[in-house]
Structure 1
Amino acid sequence: MRRAIGLGVGLALLGLLLPGSLAFKENEFKKCAQTSFCSRNRNVQQGANFEIVPASVTLNTATLTATLMNKQASKHLQLTLTAHADGFVRLLIDESPSVGRYQVPSDILVSGWETRKAAIKEQSRSANGIVLTTGDTKLELGYAPFTLAVSVKGVPALQVNSRNLFNFEHRRPKQDSDPAGYWEETWMGHTDSKPKGPEAMSLDLVFPGFAHVYGIPERATSLSLQATNGNAPYGEPYRLYNLDVFEYLEDHPFGLYGSIPVMLAHKKGLTVGVYWNNAAEMFVDVVKGRGEVGTQWVAESGVVDLFVFTGATGPAVLAAYAKVAGTTALPQLFSLGYHQCRWNYKDEADVKAVDGGFDSHEIPYDVLWLDIEHTNGKRYLTWDSSLFPNPAAMQEDVASRGRKMVTIVDPHVKRDSSYYIFSEAESAGHYVKNKHGSDFDGWCWPGQSSYLDVTSPVVREWWAQQFTTDKYQGSTRHLYIWNDMNEPSVFNGPEITMQKDNLHYGNVEHRDNHNLFGIYYHMGTADGLKLRGSQVDPENGDRPFVLSRAFFSGTQRVGPIWTGDNAAQWSHLKVSVPMLLTLGLTGLPYSGADVGGFFGNPDAELMTRWYQLGIYYPFFRGHAHLETQRREPWLFGPDVTARIRSAIRGRYALLPHIYTLFRAANTSGQPILRPLWFEFPEQEDLYAEDQEFMVGSSMLVVPVTAPSIFTVDVTFPQGARWYDAATGAPVPPKTKTQRVEVSLNGIPVYYRGGSVVPRRERPRRSTAAQLADPYTLVVALDDKGEAEGQLYVDDGRSFAFQRGLYLHRDFKFAANKLTSSKHVEAGVPDGTLTVPTTIERVVFLGLPPSKKGYKAVISDGASGSKHTIALEAGPLSLATAPESTQAQVLRKPDLPVSHDWTVEIVQA
């Protein structure tokens, strides 16, 4: 996070180098026109210069290779087109012969997909091109100029170089006639030496027949990406370049802390996705019109390594992408509870008071966080002994109530020979080098700082070893980590980051792997907690929890991220929804936004609405800047405290459903929060909707994102029945929009008919206190009188689930029978865990009215016994929801979670 305070007399110079403290300063960051590689490629038609040499085209079982010639430069490229059985094709273009251009290392992606190839069949060939098929995908490769058209099931999906914007700059010796910016470029007093000269690429990707594209996070803008050939600010392309951005603007194309070069396009009947596996700075233009969306992607260096996902549906595209970049790491259960953070909780007494405040106000929470002030002079993995003299005892005390703590660990290392981290890393040569080969010396919170070269596996292994409890003095197994500033942030560097001609492991320039620095630091830290966990529990280990600000494709395999330094503004509350939806669509669903806004002082109404929305964020944390007023949930008066308490308790009640959704993200790459089009892909009026969203496939959430709002217009996707989640009342059939009254007590939420949602209703202080609690099932019937859902349970902390020590149940209601059976999933070890918990309530929504009422005939599959219990009217929830005569409740059936059973609903 950016912090707008002085760093002491010794850092007076640093204060002059920091951005202003009042607002984002756009002029401090480069635009396309101020960036040589972007300005010389943007909207420049050079694609006609590139032609396939027909005689070079060779087709093997799953791969086509060809020579791609740049006629103007008389240079050759090697083109490789490969079909993969997991639902994608890969286009790779590199210089021929190879000059050693940078390629993203294999550890950023997962392994296995490379060998799962699909056969390519030649359909026809001529002097102008070749037509290929692989499964339902047709590939038409044009020779002069080079083009590639992709269609799926006969529907056009993607065109490469159809607007002649493709370009690939070859390595070349320096010449006196080279234009400015080719070999050297200066920005605000910083000179980039560019020793390899120009090596940019432009990808011309058109999505024919589409009106909407999504993705390429991170930025604070709409879900459906706006065209960038319009008026300011959208006359500027989207930028993918991880930067430390102070109090970012909403509704702006400017890139923020992370980069995922993934884009999805959706239209009725077809979804297609692309991923450019490139970690250099990148700009992306979006142009809409003429029945298509045209995009131009310009990267500074690397190679063209383009994956095209042709699965035809949103879930299939994300499942295929997950085969390449990996699925979401299954988080520990505690990390899905509420997190309380502030820069900074001052000392051990402050920690004790805040922890006790949650209990005295009966508000659940799971994690208390410490920011940079807990350290000894910004030396990470240390403690300020005057403020935190007994850190281990403090953590054990918090843990005695089932809770955890988190400390911040940033990538800059204070240059102090008495600091063991600095001296050990310096002796081992573990730091990033400047262009001259010496250790890079930058400025950050400690002042002069070195930066660990985490792109090196050796450095990451060393870094991981620093997190064992014998190395990290004062830490315990209850302590987890927060990686901030890992873009990397360098206060006296160009655009507050590292110089592009710095050198990394393998003599790689920073320009080539800039967007990987954050994920590699994240990886090394998470490996450290895995190492610590293996020492504590050698058999099962301990799943790491490490929050990161910077990210790239594959970060989902490591841990969660958050959207950075937002502000206490209604506009930032509103934009958090499309930001998180976009992250989920690009494979990174475990994300959240600072509840309440990091900067500024939210009023009671904004805080209330933010908590009411925030309980649905996959990562749910309140956080605030040092200079803001204290804002723990009980500091806004008793009425507000009651509303926030109710909201946070609602999060804990929903955790069984959320944890089950995370298991789906872990096995198949599906998002937790989903835009409406993802669940209702044929309804064109939903394609641009980015305020309402789905939690999984079962719940519709409608946030309130403006002050003094007492009615909201709710759009109900058609083809589904909907039930008010507070009352159980059904929405009238075929209702498309409805004006709904809202109070400060909550926001509109609806169950989707056809869903079974597991919950835990009893109010507890933390997730640990819930572990033995029974469950409630909400069974919301569709028009056929049917419903289905799942419940996933494991120990909530270890890797034992990978050996099958988990429980996964399917619930189905059909023909008036609710059944529980074992969930079986292809490619996943069979679950063998049994748990002693039961289902204490089943709430049925949508049963037809009956004058006699209903009863349930319960058959226990384990014992074969039967018994009958009468259904009762309401309440829907054990919490504060009003009774509803339209909800029928089966109370105390004591259904075993671990075994098969059947509940038949009959007339009383």
Structure 2
Amino acid sequence: MEEKKPKFCESPYLYPSEEPQSRGISFRRFIIIVTLLNFVAISIITGYVLYNVWLLETTIDEPFVDWQKDDSKPLITTYYESSFTSGGVFRAPVPSKADPKSPQCTLPNESKFDCNPDEPVNQQVCESRGCCWVPVTRSKRNIPPLNIPYCFYPSDYKVYDVADIKQGDNNATLKLVRKTASGFPDEIDNVNVEIIGLDSERLRVRFVDAEKDRFEVPMPFFNLSKAEQIKSPLYKIKINDDGKLQISRASTGTIIFNADLSTLIYADKYIQLHVHVPSTYLYGLGEHKATFKKDLTGWNRYTMFARDIGPTENVNLYGSYPFYIMPEGDDKMNAHGVFLLNSNAMDVLTQAAPAITYRTVGGILDFFIFLGPSAPEVVRQNVNLIGRPVLQPQWAFGFHLCRYGYNSLAKTRETLDRNLAAGIPIEAQWNDIDYMDRYNDFTYDKNNFAGLGDFVKELHSKNMHYVIILDPGVSAAEPAGTYPPYDDGVKADIFIKNTTNQIFVAKVWNLVSTAYPDFTNPATVDYWKNQLMNLRKDIEFDGIWIDMNEPSNFLDGQFNGCPNDPYENPPYKPGGNNLRSRTVCMTAKQHLGIHYNLHNLYGLYENVVSYKASLDIFGARPFILSRSTYPSQGHYASHWSGDIQSSWDHMKYSISNMLEFNIYGIPMIGSDICGFSGSTNVELCMRWSALGAFYPFSRNHNDIHGTEQDPAILGPTVVAAAKYALGARYKLLPYLYTLFAKANMNGDTVVRSLFFEFPLDKNTYSIETAFLWGSSLYIVPVLEAQKTQVDAYFPNELWYNFDDKKLAFNSTGATKTITIDNDKIGLFMRGGSIVPVYQNSANTTAELRKQKYYLNAYLDRSGNAVGEIYHDDGKSVDSIEAGNYIHASCKANKERLVCSYMNMAEFDDYRVGGVTISGLHEQPKTINLNGQFLSSNSYSHDGSTLSIDLPDDFYSSQSFSIEFRY
């Protein structure tokens, strides 16, 4: 969210130890003193730079001798002294100087690994690291994307020697002993490497300090189960004596993880590993405004450090996902995945070798490798590790309406009423931070939003819902005893602390100053729950929207900045920015450690705490929407793409964002329909309303600075598009809900790229302008202005129109030009599918549940179709665990449709009312249901589609069969 300019006033709640000293000095004297100090500082800096230039020219080639001790005997070791990183002066063994004309430096451009991550680069520093200096004629370096490095590692570069290799059938261990220096301070001398087979499809590779513990990501959320016996593993492990680790696919021999461990750099605040990969098909490495398929034709950088910034090209955004899927390019298009469990700030670099370089500033390297062998199986394996997606309350799948800038209950009501009057189905009304009293969490404006509690009760009476926004920041400047969220937090001691063990005070939306709850503190669960319960006494909200939880800050640290500490100024800065920029100081203290290690986990822990609190408060499935995320997020909450712009480009990006978060195990994903920042226009919002109806999370929302953009305010064109698309969505909700149940049970994706379903068709691997719901519904939007025709690729299959159920294309794998009218979106059903639907739309999901289900079957070329249907009460937390649900598997061909129940609980609102079979060109003479003939008045045939209405009293408590006789 775009913030107001903060008021940098002196806070009465700044602690004495942090306050400026007395200002009893004249302005003139102040200017004189500052001028003198600047002169002295410049002199010192100039001298320091000249000294280091001299140092590099002399001491690198003339090492000195120093003493180093271990437990047994003193050793004489050769060191050099330098300062080519921000870590200051350090000592390390001398690296050998690389000859740029040697074979070791004569490498293809795509095989050059950058040896100078801490820009700017120069020849002396490069060569002092034992690296090759070969300038390349090129334009000015632009980061990102990167270009061919001047300074790169020679082919025989080595930091560690390999020792004590022990290899079993599905596991291995080895030791790395440091041989030379990398140029980074506080290097770790001995590293243990463990390769652990978890089961036949998954293995783990860990790099740990052999001598002392380092920070590791807490994993209470993860399923780290390990098979007692591993039979027929899909992988093979090979380690050479020189340190080359190769993990290959057993069936093909393809090396999927290829790393020279001797080139590892493992320092206290900088860890780097190069990994060669087998193909250029790369998906993941979020969160960024980027294409779903990442570029492996050149040098690119993907920074992972949660940040409050609107989606911008090549910039790290709200979440961190060091996970990727890679189809391997073989005949079967096997795929694997790699997840690095590390929560520190990092860069992941890609280059055309093809290869990936990991650079992180802390923790350990802890890789999980998934062998698939298909892309959907890779997702399941990863999601079963980090936590399968939570089953959302059914009402969350309705359409949501919001705006930052209603500024009053009257305006909120006016907007809602005009959209209801226009026939827009609205499930939930939301309010942004303008409903709060002075932007303070757990309050509401009793003047402009007087009567808000009664308004919410009115929504409930109409089977609608209400969602509030909360930021993590709590006002730290209210008079004592007047604001319980702060007073209670102080009493419970749950706020993040600074280095002097006082509450860390910064500035977000609160008018004066802000304190941040520490969600890693177990006591915060009760604190957070109590604040939510107190607010709910006044406003019976149904869901929680969490914003600004990277955590965001309008300052760089505290009002007086951050301490001068190595954690604030590590030798490498991922993305090139200070880590404290617009967030909490890296030295800030939390229950589980310092913020330096925990920053990327802040949003996840807030979601976990909010989920636990919501279970007690609502007694039903929570709905939580969060901006900042980390692996495991989908097990607790959902996500939206943040402050997206009102533009055609950002509308297109919303598709790749949606595809990407599904592979991260967060299928409940969407973007602000019509854009958040800036002002939309009628045509853009018309097309975006159609697309947005097929986001799993579907909400129209925008910024206070833009024009109003709800469908009704923009007129009949946008209303028509929204009504058509939302009407189709609501009819398809049984199918969407079934997909989410399967995601919860199995770890499946909901929104899919075409290549997940057609892996042998390489044309599908770069398509990001259309997408699938599950395996059956193909959605083709219009993404350009003044267009009513779209070129869309249809893989080798029969494709039916959603509206009339008629065959649209018998495609052998080709691009088709389709016409999409202004009030429509392209919706196509895949041959071979059976999809549960409602016959009609409705205003709310509660009204939808009063309808019967219909099963629409679309036969493939072989005359077959399959599908599933899931039903429960839409709200119970333990529906699946308790077996309180219905789950049926259905099959159809030209002779019959059969549904078999895998689980059957009783529900009064579950009925199957009818069936349609598309692609059935011969009319049956008779039809029977479970052996009983149906009246000829109950079915019809139009030449290609058979439609059957089942008896009103039919209740499918057991498996049922419908047979067609000719």
Normalising by the residue count of structure 1, what TM-score does the alignment of the two structures yield?
A: 0.84
Q: 1:460: Cα distance to partner?
A: 3.2
Contact 1:859 1:902 in 2 (8 A): yes
Q: 1:71: Cα distance to partner?
A: 1.8
How many residues get paired?
799
The answer for the alignment partner of 1:588 in structure 2 is: 666
The answer for the alignment partner of 1:523 in structure 2 is: 608
The equivalences for 1:438-449 within 5 A come to 438-446=502-510, 447-449=512-514
Higher relative contact order (CA 8 A, sep 6+): 1
| 1:845 to 2:918 alignment | yes
| 1:899 to 2:958 alignment | yes
Q: Write the distance in 1 (CA, Å) between the matches of 2:467 and 2:728.
A: 24
Structure 1 gap segments, 5+ residues each: 14-31, 121-133, 172-198, 231-235, 534-540, 824-829, 875-883
Q: Structure 1 residues 139 and 163, CA, compared in 2 at 3 Å: closer, same or farther?
A: closer
> Amino acid of the residue matched to residue 444 of structure 1?
V
| 1:310 to 2:389 alignment | no
Q: 1:390: Cα distance to partner?
A: 3.0
Q: 1:86: Cα distance to partner?
A: 6.3
> Amino acid of the residue matched to residue 906 of structure 1?
R
> Amino acid of the residue matched to residue 227 of structure 2?
R
Which of 158, 170, 185 is matched with 1:49 structurally? 158
> Amino acid of the residue matched to residue 812 of structure 2?
K
The answer for the alignment partner of 2:2 in structure 1 is: 2
Q: Write the distance in 1 (CA, Å) between the matches of 2:944 and 2:120.
A: 60
Q: Write the distance in 1 (CA, Å) between the matches of 2:944 and 2:440.
A: 60
Q: 1:728: Cα distance to partner?
A: 2.4
The answer for the alignment partner of 1:139 in structure 2 is: 237
Q: Write the distance in 2 (CA, Å) between the matches of 1:623 and 1:396.
A: 22
Q: Write the distance in 2 (CA, Å) between the matches of 1:464 and 1:228.
A: 49
Contact 1:157 1:272 in 2 (8 A): no
Q: 1:733: Cα distance to partner?
A: 4.4
Contact 1:838 1:897 in 2 (8 A): yes
Cα offsets for 1:497-523 (capped at 9, x unmatched): 1222222114x2212121100111111
| 1:503 to 2:568 alignment | no
The answer for the alignment partner of 2:288 in structure 1 is: 219
The answer for the alignment partner of 1:93 in structure 2 is: 207
> Amino acid of the residue matched to residue 317 of structure 2?
L
The answer for the alignment partner of 1:627 in structure 2 is: 705
SS at 2:870 equivalent = strand
Which of 227, 237, 245 is matched with 1:116 structurally? 227
Which of 450, 459, 464 is matched with 2:524 structurally? 459
Q: 1:626: Cα distance to partner?
A: 0.8
Identity of aligned residues (%): 24
Q: Write the distance in 2 (CA, Å) between the matches of 1:832 and 1:607.
A: 43
Q: Name the Cα RMSD after superposition.
A: 2.7
Which of 462, 480, 487 is matched with 2:550 structurally? 487
Contact 1:50 1:71 in 2 (8 A): yes
Cα offsets for 1:867-902 (capped at 9, x unmatched): 24467668xxxxxxxxx8643322355453543221
Contact 1:873 1:885 in 2 (8 A): no
| 1:818 to 2:893 alignment | no
| 1:728 to 2:798 alignment | no
| Larger displacement relative to structure 2 (706-715 or 483-492) | 706-715
Q: Write the distance in 2 (CA, Å) between the matches of 1:845 and 1:832.
A: 30
Q: Structure 1 residues 377 and 566, CA, compared in 2 at 3 Å: closer, same or farther?
A: same
Q: Write the distance in 1 (CA, Å) between the matches of 2:744 and 2:215.
A: 30
Contact 1:62 1:118 in 2 (8 A): no
SS at 1:634 equivalent = helix
Q: Structure 1 residues 78 and 627, CA, compared in 2 at 3 Å: closer, same or farther?
A: same
The equivalences for 1:385-464 within 5 A come to 385-415=446-476, 416=478, 417=480, 418-446=482-510, 447-464=512-529
| Larger displacement relative to structure 2 (362-371 or 425-434) | 425-434
> Amino acid of the residue matched to residue 391 of structure 1?
L
SS at 1:665 equivalent = helix
Structure 2 gap segments, 5+ residues each: 13-113, 130-148, 182-187, 557-579
Q: Structure 1 residues 97 and 163, CA, compared in 2 at 3 Å: closer, same or farther?
A: closer
The answer for the alignment partner of 1:243 in structure 2 is: 307
The answer for the alignment partner of 1:78 in structure 2 is: 192
Contact 2:443 2:535 in 1 (8 A): no
Q: 1:490: Cα distance to partner?
A: 0.7
Q: Structure 1 residues 771 and 605, CA, compared in 2 at 3 Å: closer, same or farther?
A: same
Which of 163, 168, 172 is matched with 1:64 structurally? 172
Q: Structure 1 residues 11 and 714, CA, compared in 2 at 3 Å: closer, same or farther?
A: farther
Q: 1:65: Cα distance to partner?
A: 2.5
Q: Structure 1 residues 611 and 639, CA, compared in 2 at 3 Å: closer, same or farther?
A: closer
The answer for the alignment partner of 1:106 in structure 2 is: 219
Contact 2:235 2:247 in 1 (8 A): no
| 1:681 to 2:755 alignment | no
> Amino acid of the residue matched to residue 67 of structure 1?
K
Contact 1:53 1:66 in 2 (8 A): yes
> Amino acid of the residue matched to residue 277 of structure 2?
F
Which of 898, 905, 913 is matched with 1:832 structurally? 905
Q: 1:793: Cα distance to partner?
A: 0.6
| 1:276 to 2:343 alignment | no
Q: Write the distance in 2 (CA, Å) between the matches of 1:649 and 1:759.
A: 12
Q: Write the distance in 1 (CA, Å) between the matches of 2:422 and 2:810.
A: 39
The answer for the alignment partner of 2:778 in structure 1 is: 700
Q: Write the distance in 1 (CA, Å) between the matches of 2:741 and 2:292.
A: 25
Q: 1:277: Cα distance to partner?
A: 0.4
> Amino acid of the residue matched to residue 813 of structure 1?
A
> Amino acid of the residue matched to residue 323 of structure 1?
N
> Amino acid of the residue matched to residue 2 of structure 1?
E
Which of 356, 375, 381 is matched with 1:295 structurally? 356
The answer for the alignment partner of 2:720 in structure 1 is: 642
Normalising by the residue count of structure 2, what TM-score does the alignment of the two structures yield?
A: 0.79
Cα offsets for 1:84-131 (capped at 9, x unmatched): 126210011110112x31100022x323x33435449xxxxxxxxxxx
SS at 2:934 equivalent = strand
SS at 2:507 equivalent = strand
| 1:373 to 2:434 alignment | yes
Q: Structure 1 residues 567 and 898, CA, compared in 2 at 3 Å: closer, same or farther?
A: farther
Q: Write the distance in 2 (CA, Å) between the matches of 1:333 and 1:152.
A: 43
SS at 1:732 equivalent = strand
| 1:357 to 2:395 alignment | no
Q: Write the distance in 1 (CA, Å) between the matches of 2:539 and 2:308.
A: 28
> Amino acid of the residue matched to residue 214 of structure 1?
Y
> Amino acid of the residue matched to residue 64 of structure 1?
A
Q: 1:346: Cα distance to partner?
A: 2.8
> Amino acid of the residue matched to residue 76 of structure 1?
N
Q: Structure 1 residues 285 and 6, CA, compared in 2 at 3 Å: closer, same or farther?
A: closer
SS at 2:352 equivalent = strand
Cα offsets for 1:435-464 (capped at 9, x unmatched): 332211111000310111112222234323
Q: 1:67: Cα distance to partner?
A: 1.6
Cα offsets for 1:254-293 (capped at 9, x unmatched): 111111110110134210100000011111111125xxx3
Contact 1:460 1:521 in 2 (8 A): no
SS at 2:958 equivalent = coil
Q: Write the distance in 2 (CA, Å) between the matches of 1:2 and 1:34.
A: 35
> Amino acid of the residue matched to residue 433 of structure 1?
K
Q: Write the distance in 2 (CA, Å) between the matches of 1:7 and 1:552.
A: 28
Q: 1:617: Cα distance to partner?
A: 0.9
The answer for the alignment partner of 2:945 in structure 1 is: 887
| 1:161 to 2:229 alignment | no
**Structure with greater Cα Rg:** 2
Q: Write the distance in 2 (CA, Å) between the matches of 1:871 and 1:205.
A: 63
